[in-house]
């Protein structure tokens, strides 16, 4: 790991941790109170926890690859994870605002905001800092 990258890695870890808390809260609430959440036809509660289990490795692998300096792999994995967090807003396509409790809104928006923050980090790292250039220079 590049010592110069350490502060950015710490910020990524903090952001991922907060986002993981947000997804755990939202996915758990969605699973437990599945019948209260408006959902597309054919969706079942087990789809929620299965999706979470499939998606979590993207966050973990993204962080590990970022720490190793494999930025393009990290960016790809982190974008998949962050976009699924941002995708939680799709709940509102299946019901009106009044169909959701305050708790549901809070969990959806907590995940939304933290997902946007992660996307912001990826774009900042890639487009502003251009950390991926360091990977190329080191190899």
Domain ranges of the chain: 3-138
What residue spans of the chain are helical by DSSP H?
6-32, 45-68, 71-86, 102-123, 131-138
Specify the pLDDT at position 50.
Answer: 96
pTM (2 d.p.)? 0.85
* DSSP structure class, residue 95: S
Q: What is the pLDDT of residues 113-131, one digit of tens each?
A: 999 999 999 999 888 767 7
Q: What is the pLDDT of residues 83-94, one digit of tens each?
A: 999 998 999 999
Q: Which residue has the tokens 């690859």?
A: 65
């Amino acid at each position: 790991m590049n010592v110069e990258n350490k502060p950015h890695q710490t910020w990524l870890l903090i952001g991922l941790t907060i986002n993981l808390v947000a997804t755990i809260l939202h996915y758990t609430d969605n699973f437990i109170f599945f019948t209260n959440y408006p959902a597309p036809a054919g969706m079942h509660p087990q789809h929620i926890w299965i999706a979470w289990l499939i998606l979590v490795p993207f966050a973990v692998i993204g962080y590990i690859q970022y720490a190793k300096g494999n930025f393009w792999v990290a960016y790809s994995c982190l974008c998949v994870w962050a976009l699924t967090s941002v995708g939680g807003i799709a709940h509102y396509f299946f019901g009106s605002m009044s169909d959701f409790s305050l708790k549901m809104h809070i969990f959806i928006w907590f995940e939304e905001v933290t997902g946007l923050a992660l996307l912001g980090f990826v774009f900042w790292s890639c487009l502003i800092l251009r950390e991926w250039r360091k990977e190329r220079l080191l190899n």
